[in-house]
Amino acid sequence: MEIIKHIDEMQKRQEALRLKGLRLAFVPTMGFLHKGHESLLIEGKKRADDLTLSIFVNPTQFGQNEDLSTYPRNIEGDLAIAERNGVDAVFLPDAKEIYREGSQTFVNLDILPNYLCGLSRPGHFRGVATVVTKLFNIVKPHVAIFGSKDFQQLAIIRQMTKDLNFDIEIVGAPTFREPDGLAMSSRNSYLTAEQRQTALCLIKSLQNAADLVKNGETDPETLIRHATAIIASFPDTAVDYLTVCDPVTLETVSHITGPVLFAMAVKVGVTRLIDNMTIEP
């Protein structure tokens, strides 16, 4: 497994492999890998001849009051997981390598960031779209794999890839969950044992909504009212948003007639958790 820290070295490696006719897969991450990431690596191995993992905690996608400095890191653990999953190259740049002095170019979307997490994290998706554009140009993959827990991120990357004509296949892998249903997230490491139990309020309210819709409920407001009550029944929780929306445009749905996305962000203590589920009548 190669560990590469510099952009030009990464580009040379990838270009040489492309010239040999190999198909290249790419899994971009912020590290502190868990089984959710592993499922993306497994997907990448299946779909290509060569798999690159990037580990980069991207400063431009963190807001002023967010957890950039405390974001969990464990490079040695990450490299062991990468090795175990057959990763061929790990791209491990530092922030100065990615954002050179004088850097001033950003990729932005006009509409999709104005929903869900974008509302409470202004600038977040500009940072995401920009760093993914850069990583696509550095890693030059044929296929890139993203998790579905960050549903809005996935929607934005799909749209951006199409709009900017990247010749790259985007694969959305299903959210990987703990046995009790909690969506895997590096930020789960912030939770105390008690908060870890409280965090189940997200999946419980999603499952409840899915049941309601299966039983004929078509009113998004009813789903949101029930979810709000479930979350409030757990201690130390605060809803950031609960939204029933179109899975592609992310526009709010007023009446459920087909598949909808139920997406939420909930604070458990000071830790902001997100989850979502596509629900069908």
Catalytic sites, residue numbers: 37
Confirm or reject binding of residue 123 to a copy of itself (CB under 8 A).
no
What are the backbone dihedrals phi and psi of residue 241, each rounded to the nearest 5 degrees, phi first?
-155, 155
**Nearest distance in Å: CB 99, a copy of itself:** 8
Confirm or reject binding of residue 101 to a copy of itself (CB under 8 A).
no
Confirm or reject binding of residue 4 to a copy of itself (CB under 8 A).
no
Query: Applying CB under 8 A, which of residues 52, 58, 133, 185 lies at the interface with a copy of itself?
Result: 133
Say how far apart CA 7 and CA 268 lie, in whole Å: 38
Going from the C-alpha of 13 to that of each of 51, 70, 275, 276, the distances in angstroms are: 12, 32, 36, 37
Say how far apart CA 156 and CA 111 lie, in whole Å: 9
What is residue 121's three-state secondary structure? coil
Query: Applying CB under 8 A, which of residues 103, 120, 254, 278 lies at the interface with a copy of itself?
Result: 103
Beta strand pairing call for 89-91 and 2-4: parallel
Near a copy of itself in 143-202, by CB under 8 A: 159-160, 162-167
Query: Applying CB under 8 A, which of residues 63, 75, 137, 280 lies at the interface with a copy of itself?
Result: 137
**Nearest distance in Å: CB 164, a copy of itself:** 5
**Nearest distance in Å: CB 234, a copy of itself:** 37
Confirm or reject binding of residue 76 to a copy of itself (CB under 8 A).
no
Lay out the sheet containing 89-91: strands in order across.
2-4, 89-91, 50-55, 24-29, 143-147, 169-173
Residue closer to a copy of itself (CB basis): 137 or 278: 137
Query: Applying CB under 8 A, which of residues 55, 129, 213, 273 lies at the interface with a copy of itself?
Result: 129
Query: Applying CB under 8 A, which of residues 51, 109, 173, 224 lies at the interface with a copy of itself?
Result: 109
Going from the C-alpha of 262 to that of each of 34, 64, 220, 244, 246, the distances in angstroms are: 24, 28, 9, 5, 9
Confirm or reject binding of residue 251 to a copy of itself (CB under 8 A).
no
Number of residues located near a copy of itself, criterion CB under 8 A? 33
Nearest Cα neighbor of 155 from 27, 32, 35, 276 is: 276
**Nearest distance in Å: CB 37, a copy of itself:** 23
**Is 198 in contact with 264 (CB distance < 8 Å)?**
no
The binding track of 8-37 with respect to a copy of itself, each residue x by CB under 8 A or -, is ---x---x--xx-x----------------
Going from the C-alpha of 152 to that of each of 48, 69, 116, 118, 160, the distances in angstroms are: 25, 24, 7, 8, 12
Q: Which residues pair with 169 in a beta bridge?
A: 143
Near a copy of itself in 209-228, by CB under 8 A: none
- Residues lying near a copy of itself in the complex (CB under 8 A) are found at 7, 11, 15, 18-19, 21, 100, 102-112, 129-130, 133-134, 137-138, 140, 159-160, 162-167
